[in-house]
Amino acid sequence: MVEPRTSGVPEGLRVLVFSSNATTRREVTSALGPHPHPQLPEINYVEVATAAAVIALLDAGNLNLAILDGESTPVGGMGLAKQLKDEVDRCPPILVLTGRPDDAWLARWSRAEAAVPHPIDPTMMAAAAIALLRRRAVA
């Protein structure tokens, strides 16, 4: 008989990656990979290109982290993050991708829990995402 997991960590993590740019979505998923930390389960990515898809998926629930591209068009990830934090019950942690490091103040305004600037640095991306996923798993 297999013992149930008691750590509070889900079997698989669902991470939403939103960007109107397919290359940006690919950079995010490549930077994190399927298993970025040995104490976390494998990540299952849900990639979307529209704000409407983000809203629908967050309304449905079952996401552990949302990564939103602040440079997306026509709807940017920072404005979308603010809307989600205001409107979605039990909103997962949000990591926004900013256009530059100096835009971190906009990420704070959006109520995102973390920000990583473009161009995406895999080490920085992994550190930020892992911290949010671990915090969520403990909560």
Q: What's the sign of the alpha-carbon dihedral 89, 14, 96, 54?
A: negative
Across the chain, mean pLDDT equals 90
Phi, psi at 44, each rounded to 5° = -110, 120
What is the domain range of residue 39?
A: 20-138
Inside any domain, residue 3: no
Inside any domain, residue 4: no
Inside any domain, residue 15: no
In CATH, what number is assigned to the domain containing residue 116?
3.40.50.2300
pLDDT above 70: percentage of residues in the chain = 89
Q: What is the pTM of this model?
A: 0.90
Nearest CA to 110 among 45, 57, 66?
66
Inside any domain, residue 25: yes
pLDDT band, residue 3 (cuts 50/70/90) = very low
Inside any domain, residue 84: yes
Number of domains in the chain: 1
Inside any domain, residue 98: yes
